[in-house]
Amino acid sequence: MLYEIRTYRLKNGAIPQYLKVVGEEGIAIQKRHLGNLVGYFSSEIGPINEIVHIWGFQSLDDRQARRACLAADPAWQAFLPKIRDLIVTADNKIMMPAAFSPLGGDAHA
């Protein structure tokens, strides 16, 4: 198991609007294709105006295939303009759990 951690810095004050539109429409599309949503967060203390969402995948090939299906979905293509202008920067990491991690660490034991 590997984890994709996506961090978005939003425009000042855009978190409520972003979470509303993602919650009402976007997350269902993502879950349909990406599957394993580990968590979806907004910042409270520390860097402000940040959204972090974490997705679990079996492998890099699994991630690539799922993200390609998401990108090709007409519903996702229609949804993206609703959030695109709210995002200032985006950062993406792929993380592998340690052997003792409660999130998928047993895959490396």
Which residues of the chain, if any, have pLDDT below 50? 107-109
pLDDT score, position 30: 97
Own/partner contacts of 13-19, CB < 8 Å, gap of 24 or more, are 13/49, 14/49, 14/86, 15/42, 15/49, 15/51, 17/86, 18/51, 18/83, 18/86, 18/87, 19/51
Show the domains of the chain with their CATH numbers. 2-100 (3.30.70.100)
pLDDT score, position 104: 67
pLDDT score, position 92: 96
User: Considering the chain, what is the average pLDDT of its residues?
Assistant: 93
